[in-house]
Amino acid sequence: MAMARKSAQESARKVSQLHPCFGAEAHNKFGRLHLPVSPACNIQCRFCNRAFNKEEVRPGVTAGILHPNQAVETVKKALSLCPDITVVGIAGPGDTLATNSAVEAFRAVHKAYPHLIKCLSTNGLLLPDRAEELLEVGVKTITVTVNAVDPYILEKVVSYIVFEGKRITGPEMGGILTARQLEGIRRASDLGATVKVNTVLVPGVNDEHIEDIARAASEAGAHIYNIIPLIPQHELSHIEEPDCDMLQRAREAGARHLEVFQHCKHCRADACGIPGISEFSRELYGGQMETFSHG
């Protein structure tokens, strides 16, 4: 296991040179493509209002859903629009492990483009069961969104999970989700993946809890930490967005345990291009998919 951790550290160094979300070096230089193949979610975050439209720029939003068998063709087209793409990511619009679509898409893309980094973002509920399979289909970088590691704080951010066929709420839900996320991080990192933890910073809820999250994530084997300011909506629409001081304090607290990534661009689930520099999602997906609108 120690060997695997060491090789994960070496792989993390390589990834930081090529992946725009895993290192300052690669940021502004390389691009990522998101394949919006994952429609469903197995938890309900209180701030999440998944939507299908072409206007908003935030996680969870996409212009439509792609079928996994369209993945390779989409990567080909994206590379012709933006040859600087080094990463193919799947980040929604639902959870990437709630259905098999992401694994199927990665399997096909890895076969056709083995040199591109495959990147998955998940809420982590099913990561312990699927980490091995992800590594098998070429996934090298995994992001787990951990918004609290205390069940009483977590229930203020997540209203329920659906786990083993049951809908679970309250502190019991918080305990299960945290245990699964940390176990998933441990398993993925032991298998050689580079793991980033994302936290949505919710003022008055988890802003004093960031150091605890970073400590637990680091102990579980995570390599990088990214703090994303809340976009107030859905059940948390009454909470104000965190200000720069709060974000700065949170980043300092996180940095006591993990390297903090500071350049996140709040990407949509169908983003394509160099984050913050170029965006080709309209050219890529615009004419091809239906526009849904919900929420």
Residues that bind ligand CLF (CB under 6 A): 21, 32, 34, 59, 87, 89, 91, 119, 121, 143, 226, 264-267, 275
Q: Which two three-digit tokens encode residue 13?
A: 């160094």
Q: How far is the CB of 230 from ligand SF4 (least distance, A)?
A: 11
Yes or no: say if 204 and 2 are a contact pair by the CB < 8 Å rule: no
Task: Show contacts with ligand SF4 in window 244-273 (CB under 6 A).
Answer: none
Residue carrying structure tokens 């809340």: 230
Q: Where does residue 273 fall: left (phi above 0), alpha (psi -120 to 50 degrees), or beta otherwise?
A: left
Determine if 95 is a binding residue for ligand SF4 (CB under 6 A). yes
Task: Show contacts with ligand SF4 in window 24-53 (CB under 6 A).
Answer: 41, 43-45, 48, 50
When CB distances are held under 5 to 8 angstroms depending on the partner's kind, the choice from ligand SF4, ligand CLF, none that residue 87 binds is ligand CLF
What is the rounded distance in angstroms from the CA atom of residue 165 to the CA atom of residue 158? 18
Q: How far is the CB of 236 from ligand SF4 (least distance, A)?
A: 11
Only one of the segments 5-13, 67-75, 90-98, 247-255 lies at the binding site for ligand SF4 (rule: CB under 6 A); that segment is: 90-98
**Helix pair angle (170-190, 2-18), 10° resolution:** 90
SS3 of 142-172: the string is EEEECCCCCHHHHCCCEEEEEECCEEECHHH
Q: Which two three-digit tokens encode residue 188?
A: 């993925």
Q: How far is the CB of 197 from ligand SF4 (least distance, A)?
A: 14
Determine if 94 is a binding residue for ligand SF4 (CB under 6 A). yes
Query: Which one, 23 or 39, has the nearer CB to ligand SF4?
Result: 39
Binding mask 117-146 for ligand SF4 (x = CB under 6 A): ------x-----------------------
Q: How far is the CB of 42 from ligand SF4 (least distance, A)?
A: 7
Query: Which one, 93 or 221, has the nearer CB to ligand SF4?
Result: 93
Determine if 89 is a binding residue for ligand SF4 (CB under 6 A). no
Q: How far is the CB of 168 from ligand CLF (least distance, A)?
A: 26
CA angle at 131 for the pair 267 and 156, rounded to the nearest 5°: 55
Residues in the chain: 295
For 32, the enclosing helix (H) or strand (E) is strand 31-34
In terms of Cα–Cα distance, which of 178, 188, 66, 88 is closest to 133? 188
Q: Which two three-digit tokens encode residue 203?
A: 């003022």
* Contact residues for ligand SF4, defined by CB under 6 A: 41, 43-45, 48, 50, 60, 92, 94-95, 123
